[in-house]
Structure 1
Amino acid sequence: IELGLWDRQCDRRQLALIEKTQLPTQVPNRLAVDDILAALQSDKKVKGGIVRFVLPTQIGTAIVSDRVSAQVIRNILA
């Protein structure tokens, strides 16, 4: 939603599906945003120091993008 790729209807549906499988839907409070950002730098999708993300555009469809700023990640995790 933050990036304009995913709408509220898809968000609600995806959340319901995740909850139905009893998977976590929130980041635990014990994880600091700065620690998450640091960990992302060692992810296998990092190329040339740039983190690449797989971003859903609708359920079952996604794109790969390197245009997600640290501030966007902070906003999402806040």
Structure 2
Amino acid sequence: MERTDKLNQLKQFNRPWEYDCCGIAEKLVELSNLPDDGQLKNELTDALYYLKAVAENPYNSDYHRVLFNVLLVITGFECF
């Protein structure tokens, strides 16, 4: 798949109800190797819920959707 096709795919926000922000946050903490007493995961979860809400709105910029989708790919929750 060409780069432009990949980017166009990342600009889409499909099945947003399927994504568990808490699970994504847990995986990000795990991948970061940062120590966490639960606070980091909570902060990431809140940020991901916000980002997800912004990305779901089709009137907002594509960069919100791209960032959310890249985080999904990094954590293994979505493969493109």
TM-score by length of 2: 0.34
TM-score by length of 1: 0.34
The answer to which structure, 1 or 2, has the higher relative contact order (CA under 8 A, 6+ apart) is 2
